[in-house]
């Protein structure tokens, strides 16, 4: 066998079914071997599309996504997507072609030190020097990517290694002597945690993406419902508890609900589960955040404990295991007065929008929720539409929402929807995007068309970079600079040029019949919803202000 065949055999051992990639000359041996492999290669139109598709695939499937790119520019085009996966703790294995080992360090054609470039944004990386080591390297890479705090791992594959003929590969036994995975938390700290719940009168659970990653929704609900504790989430935590659950107060932070932010500020016990206290929630004021509360912080990554907010009870461990251990030790707190206060906030400060008959984002999202099946996967890009989804769309189960959180990557949505649809071919996948975001990876419409993926694309087209414009409107006296997208194409014609059904909606009355037609169409559809550039996302916390200081509440 050559190195390429050994690599594919090792990937099959990891139950890899799909790879998202783009070819290049140094990968010819691997491309040839793929013809004889069970693994399907999904040809994208840009390497950034490959990494985002693998990312979206991993998010909805809970498996490790895999992408492939050639050396030099192919590898460097992956960098944004690798950083995106790293920030959101998504398990992805990245395969990059590389020049032959005898040319490394000579600045040869299409050589790039991709392992060096990506050191800050990968959990680990390998450059393969002997094809016989591939079984071990692949096994280690997948183990590292999916365990502990998940993240991307890169394997750099020199051309001569892929062509190397091997009569007997080395063992696949791992040799990870210094890699530690935390499991159960400290029992003493868990007992102290249980006692703190019993003593509290204003507890709040602050749940993040770690709940989703750990599959901890069941013990989370056991804690919530046994002790009747209110829950707020981060953007990445949406879906860890159904949006219609009576204890769910909404997303917290810059564009969170008033009741969620007020509860975080006024609680006497803050239970932080799988979160990293991002500045979009703390407003960059970690030392002034939840100052009335004793703080319990549970995270599998010890580096996150105390990094932003000091924890009174720090617990390093798998949040699923910790919560299971906790539930049997609980004494119920007295929270009736706390709920009276929360209900008053919910009554006085509901999410609202002007219902004046115009075509608004909230009407569009409400109709999608009504027409799409309850289990439809919702993918977003980054911008105003993303925040409207977080505020308004009923996310009812974990891994239903696919969005770029930590890095905030415009262009993520379209290729991520490709990955989501490949991972879940029987599900409705709805991409909600903007006219700025979609143009960053619009070439992936060809991937959707080639593979006949029935993704429904909801394009909120306001002709501007909406979130930047909103800030200029609010804080720069409407001095609008470099946010007008005057040369936008006719998106319906663009879709049709790719062989995709295109539709346009300009009035509120057209929304429901158009969405119904789109959802019943067997193939991909792009709907261009023309909305006003004056639409804004409210409420909003100005960065640097207290979390309770909200505009538009």
Q: What is the CATH number of domain 187-348?
A: 3.40.50.1220
Assign 534 to helix, strand or coil: coil
Q: Which tokens hold the place of 183?
A: 């499991």
Q: Which tokens hold the place of 275?
A: 């979160």
CA distance 551 to 250: 17
Contacts of 343 (CB under 8 A, 6+ apart): none
What DSSP state is assigned to residue 463?
A: S
CA distance 131 to 162: 7
Q: Are 248 and 231 in contact (CB under 8 A)?
A: yes
The ranges of the chain annotated as CATH 3.40.50.1220 are: 187-348
Of 94, 145, 151, nearest in space to 121 by CA: 151
CA distance 431 to 540: 24
Four-way CATH pick for 361-540: 3.50.50.60, 3.40.50.970, 1.10.3720.10, 3.40.50.850: 3.40.50.970
Q: Which tokens hold the place of 314?
A: 């720090």
Of 14, 59, 2, 57, nearest in space to 39 by CA: 14
Contacts of 81 (CB under 8 A, 6+ apart): 48, 50, 51, 52, 54, 55, 67, 409, 412
User: Rounded to the nearest 5 degrees, what angle is found at the Cα of 370, between the Cα atoms of 369 and 373?
Assistant: 75
Q: What count of other Cβ atoms lies within 10 Å of the Cβ of residue 22? A: 21
Instruction: Give the residues across from 504 on adjacent strands.
Output: 528
CA distances (Å), origin 369, targets 251, 363, 536: 18, 10, 21
Consecutive H or E run containing 153: strand 152-158
* pTM of structure: 0.96
Q: Distance of alpha carbon 147 from its chain centroid, rounded?
A: 17
> What count of residues does the chain have?
553
Q: Are 270 and 193 in contact (CB under 8 A)?
A: no
Q: Are 524 and 501 in contact (CB under 8 A)?
A: yes
Q: Distance of alpha carbon 15 from its chain centroid, rounded?
A: 23
User: Rounded to the nearest 5 degrees, what angle is found at the Cα of 405, between the Cα atoms of 401 and 411?
Assistant: 85
Of 233, 331, 330, 308, nearest in space to 273 by CA: 233
Q: Which tokens hold the place of 539?
A: 């409420």
- CA-based R_g, the chain, Å: 24
Q: Are 420 and 377 in contact (CB under 8 A)?
A: yes
Q: Is 373 exposed, middle or buried (0-12, 13-18, 19+ CB in 10 A)?
A: exposed
CA distances (Å), origin 197, targets 300, 423, 498: 21, 40, 57
Contacts of 492 (CB under 8 A, 6+ apart): 502, 503, 504, 526, 528
CA distance 69 to 52: 13
Topology annotation, domain 3-163:
Rossmann fold (3.40.50)
What DSSP state is assigned to residue 132?
A: G
Of 389, 405, 392, 364, nearest in space to 512 by CA: 364
Contacts of 87 (CB under 8 A, 6+ apart): 405, 406, 407
CA distance 369 to 519: 11
Contacts of 195 (CB under 8 A, 6+ apart): 331
Assign 528 to helix, strand or coil: strand
Sheet harboring 18-21: ordered strands across? 40-43, 18-21, 65-69, 92-98, 152-158, 124-127
The ranges of the chain annotated as CATH 3.40.50.970 are: 3-163, 361-540
- Mean pLDDT per block of 10 residues along the chain (553 residues) reads 96 98 98 97 98 98 98 98 98 98 95 98 98 96 97 98 89 86 94 97 98 97 97 98 97 97 97 96 88 97 95 97 95 96 97 89 96 90 98 96 98 98 97 98 98 98 97 95 97 98 97 97 98 96 91 88
CA distances (Å), origin 381, targets 235, 480, 523: 13, 22, 21
């Amino acid at each position: 066998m050559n190195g390429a065949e050994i690599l594919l055999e090792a990937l099959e051992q990891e139950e890899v079914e799909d790879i998202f990639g783009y070819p290049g000359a140094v990968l010819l041996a691997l491309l040839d071997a793929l013809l004889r492999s069970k693994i399907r290669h999904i040809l994208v139109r840009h390497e950034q599309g490959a990494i985002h598709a693998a990312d979206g695939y991993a998010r909805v499937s809970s498996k490790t996504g895999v992408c492939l790119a050639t050396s030099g520019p192919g590898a460097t085009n992956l960098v944004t997507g690798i950083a995106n996966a790293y920030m959101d703790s998504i398990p992805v294995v990245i395969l990059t072609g590389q020049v032959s080992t005898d040319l490394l360090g000579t600045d040869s054609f299409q050589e790039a030190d991709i392992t060096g470039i990506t050191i800050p944004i990968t959990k680990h990386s390998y450059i393969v020097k002997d094809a016989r080591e591939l079984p071990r390297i692949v096994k280690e890479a997948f183990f590292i990517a999916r365990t502990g705090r998940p993240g991307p791992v890169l394997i750099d594959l020199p051309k001569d290694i892929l062509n190397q003929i091997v009569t007997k590969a080395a063992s696949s036994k791992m040799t990870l002597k210094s890699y530690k995975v935390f499991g159960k938390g400290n029992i003493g700290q868990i007992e102290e945690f249980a006692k703190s719940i019993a003593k509290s009168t204003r507890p709040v659970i602050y749940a993040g993406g770690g709940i989703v990653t750990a599959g901890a929704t069941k013990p989370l609900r056991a804690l919530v419902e046994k002790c009747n504790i209110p829950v707020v989430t981060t953007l990445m935590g949406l879906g860890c508890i159904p949006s219609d659950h009576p204890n769910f107060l909404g997303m917290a932070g810059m564009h969170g609900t008033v009741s969620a932010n007020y509860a975080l500020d006024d609680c006497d016990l803050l239970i932080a589960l799988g979160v990293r206290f991002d500045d979009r929630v703390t407003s960059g004021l970690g030392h002034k955040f939840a100052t009335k509360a004793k703080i319990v912080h549970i995270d599998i990554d010890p580096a996150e404990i105390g990094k932003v907010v000091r924890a009174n009870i720090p617990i390093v461990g798998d949040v699923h295991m910790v919560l299971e251990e906790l539930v049997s030790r609980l004494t119920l707190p007295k929270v009736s007065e706390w709920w009276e206060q929360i209900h008053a906030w919910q009554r006085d400060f509901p999410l609202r929008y002007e219902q004046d008959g115009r075509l608004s984002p909230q009407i569009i999202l409400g109709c999608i929720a009504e027409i799409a099946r309850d289990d439809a996967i919702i993918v977003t890009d980054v911008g105003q539409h993303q925040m409207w989804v977080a505020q308004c769309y009923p996310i009812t189960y974990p891994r239903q929402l696919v969005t770029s959180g930590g890095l905030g990557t415009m262009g993520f949505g379209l290729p991520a929807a490709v990955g989501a649809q490949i991972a879940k071919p029987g599900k409705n996948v709805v991409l909600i995007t903007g006219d700025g975001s979609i143009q960053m990876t619009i070439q992936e419409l060809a991937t959707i068309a080639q593979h006949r993926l029935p993704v429904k694309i909801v394009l909120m087209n306001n002709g501007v970079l909406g979130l930047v414009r909103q800030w200029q409107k609010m804080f720069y006296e409407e001095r609008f600079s470099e946010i007008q997208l005057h040369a936008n194409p006719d998106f319906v014609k663009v879709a049709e040029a790719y062989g995709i059904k295109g539709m346009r909606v300009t009035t509120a009355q057209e929304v429901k019949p158009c969405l119904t037609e789109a959802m019943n169409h067997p193939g991909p559809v792009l709907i261009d919803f023309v909305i006003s550039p004056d639409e804004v996302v409210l409420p909003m916390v100005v960065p640097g202000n207290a979390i309770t200081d909200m505009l538009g509440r």
